[in-house]
Copies of this chain bind each other. A is one copy, B any other.
Amino acid sequence: MQNTGSIASENFIKTIYHFQLGAGKDTRPGSIAKELGITNAAATDMARKLSQKKLIEYEKYKALKLSKSGERMALNILRKHRLWETFLHQVLGLSMHEIHREAELLEHLTSDFLADKINDYLGNPATDPHGDPIPNVDGTISMDEKSFPLHEASVDQRYMVSRLSGSDKEFFDFCHSNKIFVGSKLNVNKQYSNNKMTEIEVDGARLILNDNFSNRIYIKKDN
């Protein structure tokens, strides 16, 4: 399909996509504007333009919603982003906190042709290094419904880490030094609900995480 959009509009579309999925965040202009570091006025303006191009559905004072072709575009960019992250990590050895930054740029100037080559080289991977699903070339994406953040877990159950969300060094350094990787097994010992903390046991060690970390570690039941 190959994107024709500019970098600015690609990032705009991408942000709407993420906010439509991510709970808690609305897709009104101000919300998108804040994320992208532009003014509300600029976001409204962009909304009007993308609406003309039929990439979003937009009525004044309403939330923004991707159209079918807008969603296809978002998934095409997301595919490139996650293929690059996987490639940069697995092949070039970039750290978890470095891959997002670089993929964020490369995704915009990557042809469908090149994306396919990267995909082939990696053996058609299902997920990126964070555990996020890589959209397929046909614009489908497999959602992992059974995955949820650590601080929502019930106590005394065995889980597997399914996803590590984010891009800051501190978080991934913590995960690394405590052997928390995508695929790691762990046990949830206790939920300190009032203090928003979770005690887990991983690789023989007990750790107490506050929700700053625990809401970015996604897990699923380990069967």
Contact pick for A91, options B91, B94, B102, B111, CB 8 Å:
B91
Which residues of chain B are near A8, meaning CB under 8 Å? none
A91 to B121, CA, bound (A): 9
Q: In the bound complex, how far is the Cα of B111 from the Cα of A110, in angstroms? A: 15
> What is the predominant secondary structure among interface residues of chain A facing chain B?
helix
* Cβ of A106 under 8 Å from chain B: yes
Please measure, in the bound complex, the distance between the C-alpha atom of A94 and the C-alpha atom of B98, giving whole angstroms.
26
Point out the residue from B105, B109, B113, B121 that lies within 8 Å of A111, measured CB to CB. Answer: B105
A114 within 8 A of B: yes
Task: Report A134-146 CB contacts with B as 1/0, cut-off 8 Å.
Answer: 0000000000000
Q: How large is the interface on A (under 10, 10 to 19, 20 to 34, 35 or more residues)?
A: 10 to 19
Q: Could you list some 21 contacts between A and B, CB below 8 A?
A: A88-B114, A88-B117, A91-B91, A91-B121, A92-B114, A92-B117, A92-B118, A92-B121, A93-B117, A93-B121, A94-B114, A94-B117, A98-B113, A101-B111, A102-B111, A102-B113, A102-B114, A105-B109, A105-B111, A106-B106, A106-B109
Residue ID in chain B nearest A101 by CB atoms: B111
Q: Given contact pairs A92-B121, A93-B117, A98-B113, enumerate 8 new A-B contacts (beta carbons under 8 Å).
A: A88-B117, A92-B114, A94-B117, A102-B113, A102-B114, A105-B109, A106-B109, A108-B109
Residues 69-127 (chain A) with a chain B CB within 8 angstroms: 88, 91-94, 98, 101-102, 105-106, 108-111, 113-114, 117-118, 121
Shortest C-beta distance, A93 to chain B (Å), equals 7
Min CB distance A85 to B, Å, is 12
Question: Interface residues, chain A, CB within 8 Å of chain B?
Answer: 88, 91-94, 98, 101-102, 105-106, 108-111, 113-114, 117-118, 121
Using CB atoms, name the residue of chain B closest to A114. Answer: B102
When distances are taken between beta carbons in the complex, the residues of chain B under 8 Å from A102 are 111, 113-114
